[in-house]
């Protein structure tokens, strides 16, 4: 049986349009500039990964490498500049199109100059994954298959953009890669070289986190802030998240909250909750855990 549904557009469309008018009346009045498109951000992230690791995308010879890099660099910089210009016009009321374009070009140049240095650091991240995971067969496998590599490639560019004061785009990048990898890193987080996230799913690293060099994390780790009620934006920009010093290993599902410090060379065992400073070269585990095994009744 086919139901003959009589669609009445006025019944749904007018209330829907009215909700926009109530919620965004000022935006409609002053003709708010368009936002950067998430589709463009996702394309930008894919091009960055290809730019950083072209040898893993079918580039076999030095001659071909130069052509590929030239194409990718030009495409990446144009898309980057366009997205930054849109974000600037949206976020800075009164900024003209000419002003936003000029500022976007200046900021894009700063990012372009930094890309070789970011690639160098990403190579240390890839090496850390290979050296730290007995299941990996090569650095190439780490780059191609491990989600933390894509997350770190995006984060290291987004973090630079965050430091340059670029609005919207860094956060869009971090949320886009979060949806694909399950790794949530705020672009404000400072992360040193040779960083490795094993498996990756469920890792959350907050805005004011600081992570040293040669740090290894497992899945489900949270570097978060303690909830402070009724403060809202009053604590924005203040240190709220942990500092992880060099050579620390944090096992699965550990939770570290607040502006605490995990000392150099320490190991945090699975499932541990930490809300206070840990001295260097410590082992942190949950005490007095008990496992009870009982037979299942078969009646």
d(CA 117, CA 194) in angstroms, rounded, equals 14
Work out the pLDDT band at 74, boundaries 50, 70, 90: very high
Are 147 and 133 spatial neighbours (Cβ–Cβ below 8 Å)?
A: no
* pLDDT band at residue 271 using 50, 70 and 90 as cut-offs: very high
Assign residue 198 the CATH number of its domain: 2.160.10.10
Task: Record the tokens describing residue 110, joined without a space.
Answer: 């700063």
Q: Reply yes or no on whether the pLDDT at 24 is more than 70.
A: no
Whole domain around residue 57: which residue ranges?
30-182
Q: What is the CA radius of gyration of the chain?
A: 23
Adjacent-strand bridge partners of 66: none
- Tally of structural domains, the chain: 2
> Is residue 255 a part of any domain in this protein?
yes
45 and 90 in a common domain: yes
Q: CA 109 to CA 102: how far, in whole Å?
A: 11
129 and 203 assigned to the same domain: no
H/E segment holding residue 222? strand 222-224
Do 36 and 57 belong together in one domain?
A: yes
CB 199 within 8 A of CB 218: yes
With pLDDT > 90 as the criterion, what percentage of the chain qualifies?
Answer: 73
Answer whether residue 51 is part of any domain.
Answer: yes
The model's pLDDT over 94-121, given as tens digits with 9 standing for 90+, comes to 899 999 999 999 999 999 999 999 999 9
Which H or E run includes 261? strand 261-262
Determine the Cα–Cα distance for residues 67 and 2; give it in Å rounded to an integer.
Answer: 58
- Out of 10-19, 54-63, 158-167, 198-207, least confident range: 54-63
Residues 80, 221, single domain; the answer is no
At which residue do the structure tokens 């004061």 appear? 165
Query: Does 10 reside within a domain?
Result: no
15 domain-assigned = no
Task: Judge if 213 and 121 occupy the same domain.
Answer: no
Distances (CA, A) of 76 to 88, 105, 151, 175: 18, 13, 17, 19
Residue 112 lies in a domain: yes
Instruction: Please measure the distance between the N-terminal and C-terminal CA atoms of the chain and give it in whole angstroms.
Output: 48
Residues 47 and 128 placed together within one structural domain of the fold: yes
Same domain (yes/no): 152, 215: no
Same domain, residue pair 89 and 207: no
Q: What pLDDT shows up at residue 127?
A: 98
Judgement on whether residues 99 and 115 belong to the same structural domain of the protein: yes
Q: How many CB atoms lie within 10 A of CB 65?
A: 13
Query: Is 149 contained in some domain?
Result: yes
Q: What's the confidence (pLDDT) of residue 59?
A: 55
Do residues 178 and 193 share a domain?
no
The pTM assigned to this predicted structure is: 0.87
**269 and 178 fall within a common domain:** no
What CATH number is attached to the domain comprising 57? 1.10.3130.10
User: Could you tell me if 48 and 154 are in contact, meaning their C-beta atoms sit under 8 angstroms apart?
Assistant: yes
Which residue did the predictor score with more confidence, 227 or 250?
250
Give a yes or no: residue 135 inside a domain.
yes
- Considering the domain boundaries, does residue 1 fall inside one? no
Percent of the chain predicted with pLDDT > 70: 88
Q: Mean pLDDT, to the nearest integer, of 173-179?
A: 97
Contact (Cβ atoms closer than 8 angstroms) between residue 183 and residue 163: no
Whether 123 contacts 152, CB under 8 Å = no
Q: Which of 95, 272, 253, 233 is nearest to 167 (CA)?
A: 95
Report d(CA 238, CA 234) in Å as an integer.
9
Q: Are 204 and 66 in contact (CB under 8 A)?
A: no
């Amino acid at each position: 049986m086919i139901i003959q549904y009589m669609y009445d557009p006025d019944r749904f469309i007018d209330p829907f349009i009215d909700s926009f008018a109530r919620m965004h009346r000022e935006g409609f009045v002053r003709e708010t500039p368009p936002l950067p498109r998430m589709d463009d951000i996702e394309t930008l992230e894919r091009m960055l990964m290809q730019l950083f690791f072209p040898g893993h995308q079918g580039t076999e010879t030095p001659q071909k490498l130069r052509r590929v890099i030239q194409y990718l660099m030009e495409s990446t910089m144009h898309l980057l500049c366009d997205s930054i210009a849109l974000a600037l016009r949206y976020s800075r009321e009164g900024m003209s199109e000419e002003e936003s374009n000029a500022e976007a070009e200046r900021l894009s140049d700063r990012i372009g100059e930094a890309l070789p240095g970011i690639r160098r650091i990403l190579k240390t991240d890839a090496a850390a994954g290979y050296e730290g995971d007995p299941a990996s067969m090569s650095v190439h496998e780490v780059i191609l298959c491990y989600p933390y590599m894509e997350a770190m490639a995006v984060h290291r560019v987004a973090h630079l953009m965050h430091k340059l004061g670029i609005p919207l785009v860094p956060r869009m990048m971090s949320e886009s890669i979060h949806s694909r990898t399950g790794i949530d890193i705020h672009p404000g987080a400072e992360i040193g070289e040779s960083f490795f996230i094993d498996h990756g799913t469920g890792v959350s690293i907050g805005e004011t986190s600081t992570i040293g060099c040669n740090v290894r994390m497992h899945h489900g780790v949270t570097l978060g802030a303690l909830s402070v009620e009724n403060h809202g934006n009053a604590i924005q920009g203040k240190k709220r998240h942990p500092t992880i010093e060099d050579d620390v290993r944090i096992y699965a599902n550990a939770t570290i909250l607040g502006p605490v410090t995990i000392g150099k060379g320490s190991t945090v065992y699975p499932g541990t909750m930490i809300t206070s400073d840990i001295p260097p070269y410590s082992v942190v585990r949950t005490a007095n855990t008990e496992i009870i095994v009982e037979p299942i009744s078969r009646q």
